[in-house]
């Protein structure tokens, strides 16, 4: 109908059949940012947030979220992840996250990387909201992906 893989000929939602696809090494990298007050950013940097180590908790949350992506996104395939990393860059105005997901499988890991980045940022918000309720999460996007039938892709600046 539209060429969208998650729609059948009648326009109904469907899970894509990946059974005939080749198993290949796949990787996806996603990023996002949470902007906040200088006070909140410094408290995170100095380990002064009462709930604990914000970035350590957010890292674990992001990894756990990547592993549960198929439970959250209705038409995603459950996949065996071989690795998930969640890294942060902190400055005086906020936190940037880079999440990477890897697998050897029949479908990509873009949604897992995006989910990891999103949940890591939500966790930063949850951990630091007592310091700054006006934090803004944004810019969550796919940076790059490798593997699969469509090959490699990288966001251009």
Of 91, 126, 132, 152, catalytic: 126
Q: How far is CA 55 from each of CA 4, 61, 62, 139, 156, rounded to the nearest angstrom?
A: 37, 10, 10, 19, 28
How remote is the C-alpha of 57 from its chain's centroid? Answer: 15
**126 annotated active-site:** yes
**Rounded Cα–Cα distance for residues 8 and 73 (Å):** 18
**Rounded Cα–Cα distance for residues 19 and 29 (Å):** 24
The answer to whether 58 touches 121, Cβ cutoff 8 Å, is yes
The answer to whether 51 touches 127, Cβ cutoff 8 Å, is yes
**Rounded Cα–Cα distance for residues 28 and 92 (Å):** 28
Which residues does the annotation mark as catalytic?
126
């Amino acid at each position: 109908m539209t060429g969208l893989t998650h729609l059948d000929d009648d326009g109904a939602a469907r899970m894509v059949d990946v059974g005939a696809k080749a198993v290949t090494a796949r990787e996806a990298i996603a990023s996002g940012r949470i902007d906040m007050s200088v006070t909140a950013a410094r408290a995170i940097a100095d380990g002064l947030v009462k709930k604990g180590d914000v970035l350590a908790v957010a890292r674990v949350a992001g990894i756990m979220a990547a592993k549960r992506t198929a439970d959250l996104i209705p038409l995603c395939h459950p996949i065996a992840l071989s690795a998930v990393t969640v890294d942060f860059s902190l400055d005086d105005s906020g936190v940037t996250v880079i999440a990477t997901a890897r697998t050897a499988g029949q479908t990509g890991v873009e949604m897992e990387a995006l989910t990891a980045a999103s949940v890591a940022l939500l966790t930063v918000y949850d951990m630091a909201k007592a310091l700054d309720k006006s934090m803004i999460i944004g810019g969550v996007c796919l940076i790059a992906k490798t593997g699969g039938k469509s090959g490699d892709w990288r966001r251009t600046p």
